[in-house]
Amino acid sequence: MLVAIEAGSLLRGLILLLSFPIIAVAYVFFSEALAIQMLIYISFSGLRARDIEMVSRAVLPRFYASDEFLGGDKVIGTEIEVDPKTKKATGFVKKPGVLVGKWKRLGVEKEFGEERPDIGLGDRESDHDFMSLLQAIKNNALDAINVAVEDVVTCLEGYMVHPSKSAKPLPLDRLKSPLIFHDGHLVQPPTPLNALITYIWLPFGFVLSVIRFYFNLPLPERIVRHTYPMLGINLVIKGNPPPPPSPGSPGNLYICNHRTALDPIVIAIAMGRKVSCVTYSVSKLSRFLSPIPAVALTRDREADAAMIKALLQKGDLVVCPEGTTCREPYLLRFSALFAELSDRIVPVAVNLKQSMFHGTAVRGVKFWDAYFYFMNPRPTYEVTFLERLPEGMLVKAGGKSSIEVANHVQRVLAGALGFECTQLTRKDKYMLLGGNDGKVESMYSKK
């Protein structure tokens, strides 16, 4: 289901869900291999091999880690057949076929040859054949005990691992590598029940998203914060923002961590007044639809600095120095440019809760991110205004370097949120999840 939706589309996922009764019949009355082959055909046929690979790297590990996840040096599994000319999956699998039952046994025999696997783990009835291979190997080894004792393999063991309510997945903070980046729009694992609930909610959620986006968001900020509860949006505001700048004085520079593209808009709503924001890779259409002034950065340091200074002369400005969103409790490295441009820096900690859809994605059209967030039944946004930086922690007044200030603000926000600081960047995220540098033009050139 994850591959069908994330590498394919919601329509393909719906077709897969509706085919579930037929596949269940194939499993019960024919074979597990046939049922799995049907799942594979519906999920994979016609998809680009590159899209399947990106989903396997960017989406699947997060769900594996929340259930069970075993590291390994090699994987012996069912291989997807790809047309060498079109580079698309045919929907079928390579020989010897779906590796269950006797085919799994053949795969193990082919891989190990004369060597002996140490431990075998099975979790279903069709694994009995595979497990009997281990027992046969062990029996053969014990039969040879009178010939060569040193050749006897005494550590061969086989276990059937049945589902247990007492079993708990390993906490994410104990994984060998921390899970910082992942992609995909689904929050919950798409089990048949979860998928059914999601698709039933989808049309209602889309209508609700349109209302939240087009009819509520354009209202004056001081009004929107009161209409949010009526539309099921929970806005939690902590701390007090500084008053608006007086005429003739520069505005405050609000520095926040980045969770979704809505962060600057929600901060404006929390303050009850207009603010401007600067953005990186956001389309012209998204900037046009934004209820607050949104200006695109050029990634030219001098030009961007001049632009930010000009905006601060007009009023308050929101900047997200991470340059991209991060879903997990981590902060990416902060760009230090903001620290050189203002002595009125206010850190703002932003966090959110979503039960059904993530409001950010690397792959696909970025325009839909806000709609996915607003399709959650009861999303929560939490905005915490922290104290303005003292003079001793500023570049001009305190003699600090811009990097020192940026790192300090990162640590302050991480402490307020209970997150961890990292040195990872926007480019690291997009190269891992999307195979590009995260720029709008490069993302569309890959398609």
3-class DSSP state of 160: strand
How many helices (H) and strands (E) in the chain?
17, 13
- The amino acid present at 315, given as its one-letter code, is G
Buried b (16+ CB within 10 A) or exposed e, 119-156: ebebeeebbebbbebbeebbeeeeeeeeeeeeeeeeeb
What pLDDT sits at residue 390? 92
Tokens coding 357: 């859809």
Among 109-123, 271-285, 343-357, the range of highest mean pLDDT: 343-357
Q: At what angle do helices 10-18 and 20-29 cross, to 10 degrees?
A: 40
Instruction: Give φ, ψ of 418 to 5 degrees.
Output: 75, 30
Predicted confidence band of residue 149 (pLDDT cuts 50, 70, 90): very low
Q: Whole-angstrom Cα distance, residue 87 to residue 42?
A: 17
- The 10s digit of each residue's pLDDT in 40-79 is 999 999 999 999 999 998 999 888 887 776 667 788 888 9
Numbered ranges of CATH 3.40.1130 in the chain: 192-445
Q: What is the mean pLDDT of residues 347-376?
A: 89
The string over 50-69, giving b where at least 16 C-beta atoms fall within 10 Å of a residue's C-beta and e elsewhere, is ebbebbebbbbbbbebeeeb
- Please report the pLDDT score of residue 13 as a whole number: 95
**Per DSSP, what are the bridge partners of residue 88?**
48
Mean pLDDT, rounded, of the chain: 84
Stronger pLDDT, 265 or 69, i.e. the higher one: 265
* The residue count for the chain: 447
* Segment holding 286, helix H or strand E: helix 284-289
Q: What is the CATH number of domain 192-445?
A: 3.40.1130
For the residues 97-125, what does the mean pLDDT come to?
A: 78
Q: Residue 383 forms beta bridges with which residues?
A: 237, 350
The answer, yes or no, to whether residue 125 has pLDDT greater than 50, is: yes
Give the span between the Cα atoms of 174 and 192, in whole angstroms.
29
- Residue 161, pLDDT > 60, answer yes
Mean pLDDT of the region 200-211: 95
| Per-residue pLDDT at 316 exceeds 80 | yes
Q: Rounded to whole angstroms, how far apart are CA atoms 5 and 186?
A: 9
User: CA dist 345 to 267, 288, 341, Å?
Assistant: 15, 27, 9
Using a pLDDT cut of 70, give the percent of the chain over it. Answer: 89
> Which of 53-62, 97-106, 301-310, 426-435 is least confident?
97-106
Read off the tokens for 152: 């006897």
Structural element, H or E, at residue 420: strand 420-421
